[in-house]
Amino acid sequence: MKYDAFSKCHPAVNFLFFVGAIGMSVVIQHPAYLLAGIITGAIYYLLLNGKKGWKTILSLLPMFMILTVINPLFNTLGATPLFHIGSRPYTLEALFYGAALASMFVIMMLWFGCYNKVLTSDKFTCLFGNLIPSISLLLVMVFRMVPNFIRKTQQIIGARKSIGKGISENATTKEKLQDGGTVLGALTSWALEGSVVTGDSMRARGYGTAKRSSFMIYRMTATDWILLTVMTLFVSLTIMAASFGQFAAAFVPNVSIAPVSWGLVTYICYLLIPTVLHVKEAFAWHISRSRI
């Protein structure tokens, strides 16, 4: 990960920001707010991961399309049928609703990806290790599961190809399913064994038996308090906007979307906090280098 100013803030600031960003993304269905969440999440994800981040972002596009197209197959509500599959209508409103749900999924994936980069396991255990040691350890393992699964999947597929057991380009669907099942079985065994080994290792080290110390000592600075104040202000204004009905959006049986108002500005400002800190630090660094 490149140097990131927001990652250097106190873990409580990092955690509370992601709670707000992810929490609001799962309840907002207004298209303008969803688009803002995708753009701001993608920008910060690219700042953290560089060019490699494009691969993850582009991989979310097929998932977005699949979720969008599949929703009308199960949700037949809507006043504008596009065509019929048997006796079930495929409606435009359900398609829009599927796009909204898919957008929420993409936003959560982007912000969780940023979360995994910023709020490392040592920061999380520093926050909750003494308060809820068992749950803290469990949550750290869960949050690390997705990136570890992706990395381990690539390793298993590469190892199988190196011994001649990988699937060819002309493989049939049955062969692809069998190969995928084998990889999934290996991943499941690896995950279960790893969780048992981690639990035994932490128990042997006395984790949770007494108050623990942290490798890094985190103290709230003036910048952290300012960020908490700014975050609280933007969240309060966003909640106020929601109470005024600015987030209202319904897709079935008819599309009804509230007009865009000032709540969008406060929402974007909140989501741009890490990006603004990152860019500000980058500019300050380049200015300092230019003066040498």
Predicted TM-score of the model (pTM)? 0.75
Domain span at 106: 6-129+221-290
Alpha-carbon separation of residue 29 from 75, 103, 230, 257 (angstroms): 17, 9, 24, 9
283 lies in some domain = yes
Torsion of CA 274, 280, 286, 288, to 10 degrees: -120
φ/ψ of 211, rounded to 5, equals: -65, 130
Task: Give residues with Cβ within 8 angstroms of 7, minimum separation 6.
Answer: 1, 14, 117, 118
Q: Which residue has the tokens 């582009």?
A: 58
Residuewise pLDDT in 10s, the chain (292 residues): 557 889 888 888 998 999 999 999 888 889 999 999 999 999 999 999 988 889 889 888 888 998 899 988 888 888 888 888 888 898 999 999 999 999 999 999 899 889 888 887 777 667 765 555 556 566 666 666 666 777 777 788 888 878 877 776 677 777 777 777 888 888 788 777 777 777 777 677 666 565 555 556 778 899 999 999 999 999 999 999 999 988 888 888 888 889 999 999 999 999 999 999 998 888 887 787 777 6
**Burial of 286: CB neighbours in 10 Å, binned 0-12, 13-18, 19+:** exposed
284 lies in some domain = yes
Percent of the chain's residues with pLDDT above 70: 84
Largest interatomic CA distance in the chain:
73
Q: What is the pLDDT of residue 143?
A: 61
Q: Give the number of domains in the chain.
A: 1
240 lies in some domain = yes
150 lies in some domain = no
Q: Tell me the average pLDDT of the chain.
A: 83
79 lies in some domain = yes
89-148: pLDDT as tens digits: 989 999 999 999 999 999 998 998 898 888 877 776 677 655 555 565 666 666 666 667
231-248: pLDDT as tens digits: 999 999 999 999 998 888
Q: What is the pLDDT of residue 140?
A: 61
269 lies in some domain = yes
- C-alpha 149/C-alpha 191 separation (Å) is 8
37 lies in some domain = yes
Which amino acid type is present at position 278? H
49 lies in some domain = yes
Side-chain-side CA neighbours of 11 within 13 Å: the count stands at: 16
